[in-house]
Amino acid sequence: MTEEKVESDKVELMVMDKTVIWDPTEINDTIETLTKWGHILAEAQWERDSLDAAYRSWRAEFGRQLTEANSKLPEWKIRQQIEANDKFRDYKRGMAITIRNCVFLEIVVSAIAKFFARS
């Protein structure tokens, strides 16, 4: 799962089981920097999309099980039972973290690209 930690000016992210540290003072004037952070952004986006797919699959299967047990169950009760399930909260929390990481990394990549454009 993705998580983050902030210490002074550095930000530490855990993306796809790898620790990534963003220290803005370490930007150098090579394309390698942009490539590295672009790759990390792509991994974070893949992680976000994979988690979303897993959530949708779980939700569909859980909903199917509920309606199989009681075909007359109204939609609002199905939604209520899904959202009351612990897995729902875990998926939603995980997705929020992966989305936050993607937004952060998009800003980092954009800032690096602008830095190189001015050089």
Express each pLDDT in 53-96 by its tens digit.
999 999 999 999 999 999 999 999 999 999 999 999 999 999 99
Residue with the bigger pLDDT between 62 and 19: it is: 62
When pLDDT is averaged across residues 95-103 and rounded to a whole number, the result is 93
The predicted pLDDT at position 113 comes to 80
Range of the domain at 68: 3-118
Q: Report the domain count for the chain.
A: 1
Query: With contact defined as beta carbons under 8 Å apart, do 63 and 56 qualify?
Result: no
The predicted pLDDT at position 5 comes to 45
Q: 86-118 and 31-69 helices cross at what angle (nearest 10)?
A: 160
Q: Give the pTM.
A: 0.73
